[in-house]
Structures are given as C-alpha cells and as structure tokens.
Amino acid sequence: MAATASTADQAHQPTIATPANGGAMTDLDDAFDAEPAEAFHRHERWGETVHRSTPESIRRELAALQVQPGDRVLEVGTGSGYSAALLARLCAPGGRVTSVDISDELIRRARAIHAERGITGVDFRVGDGLAGVPADGPVDRVVAWCAPPRLCRSWTEQVVDGGRLVACLPIAALPSITLIATITVTAGRPRIEAVTGGGYAQSTPTAVDDAQTVPGRFVDYCDDQPDPSWIGICWRAADNPQHTGASNALHQLLNPGYTAMYRQMEQDWRSWYTWTAALSDPQLSAVSLRNEIRGLGHTTSRSAAMILTDGAIVADREDSPSLFALRAWLARWEQDGRPVPESFPCTLVPYDGPDLPGWNLQVSQGAVTSRPGNAAGQGFPAGPGPGQANHRGAKTLP
C-alpha cells in the first residue's frame, strides 16, 4: 500500500462497528481514536514507512465499506498495518481480516507492530492481492489500497452474495486517472453504488520502494535525466514500437514554445481528469515533468499541449493543433461548471482478456453536477491574448 494525496471530508460517520475486544457498539470515530496512525506510520523500532495512506482517505473508504461485526474482510495492500488494525476493530467480535501485500518486508513489519499492540483477528499473507485469497473461503468485504488495472474478477468471485467492495479503479489508460468505486456484488456480478474522486499508487507484480515517481502501467516513454519525466498516451496503439511519437511529445513539453497561466486548477483537478476521461478521446495524454508536476491534455506525434496541476499551460507552439484542442476542452469543461466526479454516469464494462479478467470502469458525459460556487460557463479566455510575465515567464490569460 502506498502513500497517496487522497483527501476526504471528515464528517461524523454512522454507528457501524465494535471494538476489537468485543463490547458495546461504537462508531468509526472510536475505532480511529483507539488506533493512532503514528504508532504504525512512524514506529520507534521499525522506523517510518512511505507505504501508507492518509487517515482521511482510510476513513472515507472504511465508511463506504460498511464493515459489520462478524464480517470476513479481505484487505489488498497491507502497507503500515494501520488500516488492518482499524478493520480488526470494526469486524469484531467474530470477524476476521486477511491482509495481503506483495512485500514480505511490509508484512513482517505490520505483523510485529500488531503483536506489540496486542491486536488480534488479522491474518497477514505475502502474495499478489489481485488474485484474492480463495483458499480462505468467501468474504463479506474487500478493500484495496492500490489501483489495479481494473476491477478483478477474482475479488468478485470471493465476495458473498450481497457483499461490498471498495477499490480505486482507472477510468482511462493513463497513470493516476482513477476514481474510488463502492461496489456491491450479487451472484458474482458487480454493481456500482457510488464513486468519488481519489487515487492510490498502482498495484505492482513485485515489491517496489517507489510506485509513484514512474508508474509501472500506462507510461509510454520515460526520460530519466536529470530527473524522471514521463508521458502516457491513449493513442499508443498508433505509435511505433520505438515509441517515437510519445518521445517527441514529451520532449516538446519539456521544452515548450508556448506557456501561459490559466487559473486555479488544484481544487478541481479530479473534476478535470474525470471530465476528460469521459470524452474517450484517443489523443488524451498525461505527463509528469521532471518529477515536479503533472499534467493532462492533448498530444499527437507532432504536437502537444498540457494543463498542469498548478494551472500553467505548456504547448509546443502558439498555433499548435493540440493547444487548440486543449482550449476547446477547457471551454466545454467550464461551460459544464467543472462538474464533481461523483456526478458522472459510470458503467462496469466486462473484460475477458487473459491478463486480468474483470471489469473496466467507464465514465461518460451526462447529467453532471457543478462544484458549488462555480457557475457554468464563466470566463474561459478564447485565446492567449496579451498579458504580463508570470509563472515560468508565462503570460496570464485575460
């Protein structure tokens, strides 16, 4: 399980749990009060681990999971062991947690901290969590603290009828373009109950120290010098085996002929990437520049334009076809009122390929809800226009 930038509202959650040692019903807040995150994230003997999720995102996912006393829970991604400790409290008395991680080092660390703290009710396993743990029998709940390529059939097959699953799923074949999906399972068939913006590091087939600087999936070209820069393109099938198109696009973005400031983007970044994913446009592309900042936009083999998370726009040139397309996307997004990710229609599309059978999460344009306080259609500039020097020597668009 890896660190993420996921955040969530910390509203009071309904009564859903019991403490690990049995006793009176308690709410999710009490479980968090009983297990301090620092005891797992920064341990006196075992040191600090970067393989952890924020307490805010864990709270959100566990609230959606709705663990009940006596539940059998499969956790994919042990990380620091913190979330497993919370799950042990939530499913007691009578429940059981199986926590799986690809890293034997993380498993040893989590097992030792649990033993030190007297936490029971958790079985730690080293293995590929994407395969589930069918030998342990059916489970009532599955939660994954990583982003698999898609919803795994192995998970839905292990969940009991009426069971519940919370997982981070890609909505485009690009790094970090994901939503957190809450899913119920009936007769092995999954059904989406809700989605929300958020993300976790990609799942990996082997243990790695860093799954985020250069993701293992959906990266088409990487320039390692002096700091890692990479690009992922949805038109990879049209590129040649040498990835010449992806390489050209990345180098144009590293040395842009045009820069400008758009406006505040960080708060609405998840809206932007969900909206663009719903376009299903083959030219959609994602980039990380010098391991400093990420962007999302439009590329071809001869042009490239991105808007970065800080609101800067970079492009190969001022008359770039990709810049024209990016501006058109931004205008439509603004007209839609920067809709919240939760409002997009979502579908689980079956995938029967040999690599990982399951379902792809697909978002589509539809009746969407604007972010509060952001009226649709306000103030998108039609072109670069005049402006004064700003961030990176860019022009501020009027």
Q: Three-state SS across the chain? A: CCCCCCCCCCCCCCEEECCCCCCCCEEHHHHHHHCCCHHHHEECCCEECCCCCCHHHHHHHHHHHCCCCCCEEEEECCCCCHHHHHHHHHCCCCCEEEEEECCHHHHHHHHHHHHHHCCCCEEEEECCHHHCCHHHCCEEEEEECCECCCEEHHHHHHEEEEEEEEEEEECCCCCCCEEEEEEEEECCEEEEEEEEECCCCECCCCCCCCCCCCCCCCCCEEECCCCCEEEEECCHHHCCCCCHHHHHHHHHHHCCCEEEECCCCHHHHHHHHHHHHHHCCCCEEEEEECCCEEEEEEECCCCEEEEECCCEEEECCCCCHHHHHHHHHHHHHHHCCCECHHHCCEEEEEECCCCCCEEEEEECCCCCCECCCCCCCCCCCCCCCCCCECHHHCEECC
Rounded CA-CA distance 398/388 in Å is 10
User: Does the pLDDT at position 73 exceed 90?
Assistant: yes
Query: Considering only 145-154, 197-206, 328-337, 368-377, which range has the smallest mean pLDDT?
Result: 368-377
pLDDT band at residue 188, thresholds of 50, 70 and 90? confident
Domain topology for 15-197: Rossmann fold (3.40.50)
User: Does the pLDDT at position 190 exceed 50?
Assistant: yes
CA distances 344 to 75, 181, 265, Å, are 27, 12, 19
pLDDT band at residue 50, thresholds of 50, 70 and 90? low
Which has more confidence, 43 or 312? 312
* pLDDT score of 11: 30
Question: Six-digit token pair at 270?
Answer: 């998840």
pLDDT band at residue 385, thresholds of 50, 70 and 90? very low
User: Does the pLDDT at position 80 exceed 50?
Assistant: yes
**How large is the average pLDDT for residues 200-223?**
86
* pLDDT score of 51: 59
* pLDDT score of 386: 27
Rounded CA-CA distance 290/316 in Å is 17
Q: What is the pLDDT of residues 312-335, one digit of tens each?
A: 999 999 999 999 999 999 999 999
Portion of the chain with pLDDT greater than 90, in percent: 70
* pLDDT score of 377: 42
User: Does the pLDDT at position 302 exceed 80?
Assistant: yes
User: Does the pLDDT at position 44 exceed 90?
Assistant: no
Which has more confidence, 394 or 258? 258
**How large is the average pLDDT for residues 186-198?**
95
Rounded CA-CA distance 311/7 in Å is 20
* pLDDT score of 371: 66
Highest mean pLDDT, choosing among 20-29, 56-65, 317-326: 317-326
Q: Which positions are annotated as active-site residues?
A: 53
pLDDT band at residue 365, thresholds of 50, 70 and 90? confident
107-111 long-range CB contacts below 8 Å, 24 or more apart? 107/78, 109/43, 109/46, 109/49, 109/80, 109/81, 110/40, 110/78, 110/79, 110/80, 110/81, 110/84, 111/81
User: Does the pLDDT at position 389 exceed 70?
Assistant: no
In whole numbers, what is the pLDDT of the chain averaged over residues? 86
Nearest CA to 344 out of 215, 232, 177 is that of 177
User: Does the pLDDT at position 95 exceed 70?
Assistant: yes
**How large is the average pLDDT for residues 228-245?**
98
pLDDT band at residue 379, thresholds of 50, 70 and 90? very low
Q: How do the domains of the chain map onto residue ranges?
A: 15-197, 221-338+374-396
- Entry pTM: 0.85
* pLDDT score of 387: 29
